[in-house]
Amino acid sequence: MDVLPDILAPGLGLVVCGSAAGTRSAEVGAYYAGPGNQFWGMLHRVGLTPALLRPAEFRTVIQYGIGLTDIVKTSFGADSSLRAADFDREGLRRRIETFQPGVLAFNGKRSASVFFGRSVDYGYQFRRDIGMTKIYVAPSTSGAARGFWDESLWRLVAEAVQGSTADRIVASTVSGR
């Protein structure tokens, strides 16, 4: 059974993928609920949501064209406590292929490194797109990762989402959909 439900739908501008639900998130049943997590504030500061959302409002992100998932769905805790067998790379790939968001942003390097099977750099993952979905790696919003925090990389994700949304509007207008 999944620790947290996926928040996914076709045509989203952005899907954010973390490693796994943190302990606090699993306890309260809400994404990014840890006391030091910067996720919800970051979404608002970079312009992806018009208001500051609380973890308990996680289901409402879909109204803003944002989806949520994790590469580990059946375990929770700090990245250091996760086992290799917990990670479902193919399940994540299938979800992205099915829903085809404009942008997939990994919330931290751990989830992205496991997905790609190698270490990664922050930013756009050139030539690693899944279909039409562009893939970015941004610093973890976890309080435990404060030493790596750089909100400018999340701003790049927001810009990519805005560009992807504009591209989709043009494509649907041209195709008559």
Look at residues 71, 97, 68, 70 and name the one whose alpha carbon lies nearest to residue 84: 71
Q: Which domain, by its residues, includes 51? A: 14-175
Whether residue 1 lies inside any domain: the answer is no
Query: Residue 69 belongs to a domain with what CATH number?
Result: 3.40.470.10
Give tens-digit pLDDT for 104-156: 999 999 999 999 999 999 999 988 889 999 999 999 998 776 777 788 999 99
Percent of all residues in the chain with a pLDDT value above 70, rounded to a whole number: 92
Are residues 23 and 82 in contact, defined by beta-carbon separation less than 8 angstroms? no
Q: What pLDDT score was predicted for residue 172?
A: 40
Are residues 157 and 14 in contact, defined by beta-carbon separation less than 8 angstroms? yes
Whether residue 5 lies inside any domain: the answer is no
Whether residue 7 lies inside any domain: the answer is no
**Is residue 171 over pLDDT 80?**
no
30: DSSP letter:
-
Whether residue 4 lies inside any domain: the answer is no
Whether residue 6 lies inside any domain: the answer is no
Domain count, the chain: 1
